[in-house]
C-alpha cells in the first residue's frame, strides 16, 4: 500500500485550528503580585511574554489560560502573501525551537498549505528565522546569512532565548520584525506569527 | 566494568569514578595527497536540524578524513547558583533530552544531600524518560527518511512525533518537560489511557520494506568497540544500557535489545525495537504529582541515566542548596567520536545517514558549564 494511502487510513488530519494541549507555554493571566521572576518578565503587575521562559514559578499569581501565546508582528508584507520562504538559523539554541519549527510541517499543522516553506540557503529566503542565544561562533555566519538575503527581507525571532536571552545568555543584536514568545514556542504560535507576517490574518 | 566517559577531569565507569582521565585512542589525520582537498560543510549549510560544521578531507567522493568544527559553544556556568535556579538552565542544555538532563542532575543533587527520593517520584522519572525515548527515536527515524527524500513516510513519522509531544504536554504540562521536575518532586500525571491512538509503530516498520532506504543505511558507518554507548553500542551487539548496568533508576528485570552489524541500519532497528519496548513499559505505568522533603547538607553526588542516545551523567558538589561544582557527561560526546571514526573511509553521500543514526545533539555537545 502506498504511503499516501497509509496516511489516509491512519486518519491524521490537518487541523484548522491547531490543537494546543500543553498548559505551558500559554498566555498568562495576572491574578496577583509576584516578584521572584528569574527573567524579570513580570514587573509592576505587567507580564512581558518575550522575556518569559514559562518556568511555572509565578503560579498561582499568574495563571496559564491554555490560549496560544500571541506573537508580536511589527511588519506585514503583502509581497509574501503567496509564499514565504524561511531560512532558519540556530545561533545557539537548545534544540527545542528547532524541533517545534520542524513540526510546523507535520500533517497536523501542515504549514505549506499557508505557503510557508523552509529553504536551504539564505539566497532563496524572504525571512531569516533565528533561534537561541547569540554565541560567539555563530556571529559571523549570521552576518553572512543576513547579507546574502535578497530584499525585501524580514527577521523573525522565535523563542525566549532569541527574543530576550531567556535564562541562558544574550539575544542576537538584529532588527527584528516578528517576535514569537515561548520556551520553546508552540507550532501554533509560530504559524500564527508567519501568517500575520504574510498578511493572511 | 566498562568505561562510560570523561566526567570533568575524571573517568566515569560502571563501577564508579576513577581518579584519572579515560584512556583514548586518537587517530592521526592523514596527510593531503595529490588531488585531495578540504571541504568545509556548515555551519549554515541547511539540512541538519541544528547548526553543524564539519571539515572533510576528500579527493572528490571518498571521505579520507572528517572532523567536527566547533561553532555553537554555549557557556552556561552553574557553580554559585541555587539548585532551584540551576535546574532552569540544566533542562535547557538540550530540550530534546530535557527529562534526562533534569532527572540525572536532580538525582546527583539528592545523592549529595543524602536523601532518598519518594517512590512515586522515581516512577514518574522512569515514565518521563521512556516518553522522551519514544519521541527521540521517532525523530531520528524522521530525520533519516528526510535525508533519503522519502517525504510521505517522513511526514507520517513526524505526525507520530507530534502525537507523542502532545501526550507529554498533557501529562507534564510542557511538551519538553520544562518545569516538570524540581528538587524534591515532579508535577507529571500519566496514565496508560494516554497512549490510546499510539498505533504508529505498525506503519513505522513498513519503512524497512523500502529497498532504497535500507541500502542507504546498510553497511554505512560500521563501528564496533567498547567505547560505544546507548543504541550505537546495542546495535553492535553490546548490551550496554544504564537501565540495567548500574544506572540510578530501578528498571527491574529490564533486558536491552541488541543487533550485531553495528551499522546505521542496526542503530535504527535498535531504536525501533526500543520504541516498542518503551510503549509496552508505559502501558503498565501510572504516575501522579508527588513531592518529598529535601534536607540541606554539604556533599558530592554522581548520577547516571540512560538518555535516548546513551549514558548521561552528572557530578555535583553542593553546600546547602548552593552548587559549588557541576560537571556533565552528555551522550552526544561519545556518539560524535563514534560518528567521526565510522565515517572515515566512507563516501560523501553516506554522511547525513550516518550522522542522523547516532542521534547527536550539538546543543549538549558544545555546552560549557564551567
Calculate how close chain B gets to A197, using CA atoms only, in Å.
Answer: 23
Domain containing residue B169: 3-368
Q: Select, from the ranges A4-8, A197-201, B29-33, the one with the highest average predicted confidence (pLDDT).
A: A197-201
* Closest to A69 in 3D by CA, of A23, A112, A17, A31: A23
CB-based contact B166 A6, cutoff 8 Å: no
CATH number, residue B203: 1.10.645.10
User: B221 Cβ partners below 8 Å, 6+ apart?
Assistant: B263, B264, B339, B342, B343, B346, B350, B353, B354, B357, B358
Interface test with A, best of B48, B51, B139, B167 (most A CBs within 10 A): B51
- The neighbouring-strand residues paired with A47 are A42
- Cα separation, A71 vs A46, whole angstroms: 17
Question: Which helix (H) or strand (E) element contains residue B110?
Answer: helix B98-112
User: How high is the pLDDT of residue B358?
Assistant: 98
Question: B109-132: per-residue pLDDT in tens?
Answer: 999 999 999 999 999 999 999 999
| Low-confidence residues in chain B, pLDDT < 50 | none
Question: A59-97: per-residue pLDDT in tens?
Answer: 999 999 999 999 999 999 889 999 999 999 999 999 999
Quote the percentage of chain A above a pLDDT of 70.
99
Chain B residue numbers with beta carbons less than 8 Å from the beta carbon of A106 are 155, 158-159, 161-162
Closest chain B CA to residue A59? B179
Q: Is the pLDDT of residue A1 over 70?
A: no
User: How high is the pLDDT of residue B334?
Assistant: 95
CB-based contact B44 A122, cutoff 8 Å: yes
SS3 content of chain A, % helix, strand, coil (to 5): 30, 20, 50
CB-based contact B174 A24, cutoff 8 Å: yes
Question: A111-122: per-residue pLDDT in tens?
Answer: 999 999 999 999
User: How high is the pLDDT of residue A18?
Assistant: 78
Q: Could you report the predicted ipTM of this complex, rounded to two decimals?
A: 0.95
Interface test with A, best of B52, B177, B179 (most A CBs within 10 A): B179
- Cα separation, A86 vs A111, whole angstroms: 11
- Cα separation, B322 vs B320, whole angstroms: 6
Chain A residue numbers with beta carbons less than 8 Å from the beta carbon of B165 are 103
CB-based contact B75 A169, cutoff 8 Å: yes
CB-based contact A184 B88, cutoff 8 Å: no
C-alpha cell at B174: 510542557
User: How high is the pLDDT of residue B211?
Assistant: 93
CB-based contact A38 B85, cutoff 8 Å: yes
pTM: 0.96
CA A122, A135, B342, B258 dihedral sign is negative
- Cα separation, B118 vs B290, whole angstroms: 8
Per-residue burial over B324-346, b if 16 or more Cβ lie within 10 Å, else e, is: eebbbbbbbbbbbbbbbbbbbeb
**Interface size between A and B, measured as CB pairs under 8 A:** 155
What confidence tier does A151 reach under pLDDT thresholds 50, 70, 90?
very high
CB-based contact A99 B159, cutoff 8 Å: no
* Structural domains of chain A, with CATH: 26-68 (no CATH), 72-198 (3.40.50.12280)
Closest chain A CA to residue B43? A141
Say if residues B73 and A135 touch (Cβ distance below 8 Å).
Answer: yes
CB-based contact B159 A183, cutoff 8 Å: no
Question: B200-237: per-residue pLDDT in tens?
Answer: 998 899 999 999 999 999 999 999 999 999 999 999 99
User: How high is the pLDDT of residue A4?
Assistant: 75
CB-based contact A99 B139, cutoff 8 Å: yes
Chain B residue numbers with beta carbons less than 8 Å from the beta carbon of A12 are 156, 159
Say if residues B317 and B332 touch (Cβ distance below 8 Å).
Answer: no
Which residue among B46, B51, B179 sits closest to A56, beta carbon to beta carbon?
A: B179
Chain A residue numbers with beta carbons less than 8 Å from the beta carbon of B71 are 137-138, 141
Say if residues B146 and A102 touch (Cβ distance below 8 Å).
Answer: no
CB-based contact B44 A91, cutoff 8 Å: no
User: How high is the pLDDT of residue B317?
Assistant: 97
In whole numbers, what is the pLDDT of chain A averaged over residues? Answer: 93
Q: Is the pLDDT of residue A20 over 80?
A: no
User: A155 Cβ partners below 8 Å, 6+ apart?
Assistant: A127, A128, A130, A146, A174, A175, A176, A177, A178
Q: Is A5 helix (H, G, I), strand (E, B) or coil?
A: helix
CB neighbourhood size of B194 (10 A) = 18
Q: Is the pLDDT of residue A11 over 90?
A: no
Count of domains for chain B: 1
Amino acid at each position: 500500500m502506498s504511503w499516501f494511502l497509509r496516511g489516509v487510513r491512519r486518519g491524521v488530519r490537518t487541523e484548522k485550528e491547531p490543537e494546543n494541549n500543553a498548559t505551558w507555554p500559554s498566555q498568562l493571566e495576572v491574578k496577583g503580585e509576584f516578584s521572584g521572576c528569574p527573567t524579570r518578565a513580570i514587573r509592576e503587575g505587567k507580564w512581558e511574554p518575550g522575556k518569559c521562559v514559562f518556568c511555572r514559578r509565578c503560579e498561582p499569581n499568574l495563571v496559564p489560560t491554555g490560549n496560544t501565546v500571541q506573537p508580536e508582528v511589527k511588519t506585514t508584507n503583502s509581497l509574501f502573501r503567496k509564499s514565504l520562504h524561511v531560512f532558519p538559523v540556530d545561533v545557539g539554541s537548545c534544540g527545542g525551537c528547532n524541533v517545534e519549527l520542524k513540526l510546523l510541517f507535520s500533517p497536523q499543522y501542515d504549514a505549506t498549505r499557508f505557503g510557508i516553506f523552509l529553504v536551504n540557503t539564505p539566497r532563496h529566503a524572504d525571512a531569516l528565522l533565528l533561534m537561541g542565544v547569540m554565541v560567539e561562533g555563530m556571529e559571523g555566519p549570521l552576518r553572512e546569512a543576513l547579507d546574502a538575503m535578497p530584499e525585501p527581507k524580514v527577521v523573525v525571532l522565535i523563542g525566549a532565548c532569541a527574543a530576550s536571552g531567556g535564562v541562558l545568555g544574550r539575544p542576537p543584536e538584529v532588527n527584528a520584525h516578528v517576535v514569537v514568545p515561548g520556551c520553546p514556542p508552540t507550532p501554533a504560535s509560530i504559524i500564527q506569527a508567519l501568517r500575520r507576517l504574510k498578511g493572511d490574518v | 566494568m566498562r568505561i562510560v566517559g570523561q566526567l570533568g577531569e575524571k573517568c566515569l565507569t560502571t563501577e564508579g569514578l576513577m581518579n584519572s582521565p579515560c584512556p583514548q585512542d586518537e587517530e592521526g589525520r592523514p596527510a593531503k595527497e595529490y588531488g585531495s582537498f578540504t571541504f568545509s560543510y556548515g555551519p549554515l549549510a541547511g539540512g541538519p536540524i541544528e547548526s553543524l560544521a564539519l571539515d572533510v578531507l576528500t579527493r572528490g567522493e571518498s571521505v579520507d578524513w572528517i572532523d567536527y568544527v566547533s561553532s555553537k559553544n554555549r557557556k552556561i556556568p552553574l557553580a554559585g547558583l541555587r539548585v532551584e535556579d540551576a535546574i532552569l538552565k540544566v533542562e535547557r542544555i538540550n530540550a530534546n533530552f530535557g527529562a534526562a538532563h533534569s532527572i540525572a542532575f536532580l538525582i546527583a543533587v539528592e545523592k549529595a544531600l543524602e536523601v532518598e527520593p519518594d517512590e512515586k517520584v522515581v516512577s514518574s522519572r522512569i515514565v518521563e524518560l521512556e516518553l522522551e525515548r519514544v519521541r527521540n527515536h521517532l525523530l531520528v527515524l524522521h530525520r533519516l527518511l528526510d535525508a533519503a527524500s522519502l517525504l510521505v513516510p517522513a511526514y507520517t513519522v513526524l505526525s507520530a512525533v507530534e502525537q507523542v509531544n502532545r501526550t507529554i504536554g498533557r501529562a507534564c504540562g510542557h511538551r519538553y518537560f520544562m518545569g516538570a521536575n524540581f528538587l524534591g518532586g515532579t508535577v507529571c500525571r500519566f496514565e496508560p489511557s494516554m497512549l490510546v491512538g499510539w498505533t504508529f509503530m505498525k506503519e513505522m516498520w513498513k519503512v524497512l520494506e523500502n529497498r532504497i532506504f535500507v541500502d542507504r543505511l546498510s553497511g554505512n558507518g560500521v563501528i564496533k568497540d567498547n567505547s560505544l554507548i546507548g543504541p550505537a553500542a546495542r546495535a553492535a551487539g553490546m548490551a550496554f544500557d544504564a537501565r540495567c548496568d548500574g544506572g540510578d533508576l530501578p528498571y527491574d528485570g529490564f533486558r536491552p535489545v541488541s543487533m550485531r552489524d553495528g551499522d546505521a541500519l542496526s542503530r535504527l532497528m535498535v531504536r525501533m525495537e526500543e520504541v516498542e519496548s518503551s510503549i509496552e513499559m508505559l502501558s503498565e505505568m501510572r504516575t501522579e504529582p508527588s513531592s518529598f522533603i529535601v534536607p540541606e547538607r554539604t556533599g558530592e553526588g554522581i548520577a547516571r541515566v540512560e538518555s535516548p542516545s546513551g549514558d548521561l551523567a552528572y557530578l555535583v558538589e553542593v553546600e546547602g542548596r548552593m552548587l559549588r561544582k557541576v560537571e556533565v557527561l552528555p551522550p552526544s560526546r561519545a556518539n560524535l567520536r563514534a560518528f567521526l571514526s565510522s565515517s572515515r573511509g566512507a563516501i560523501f553521500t553516506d554522511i547525513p545517514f550516518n550522522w542522523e543514526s547516532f542521534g547527536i545533539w550539538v546543543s549538549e555537545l558544545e555546552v560549557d558549564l564551567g
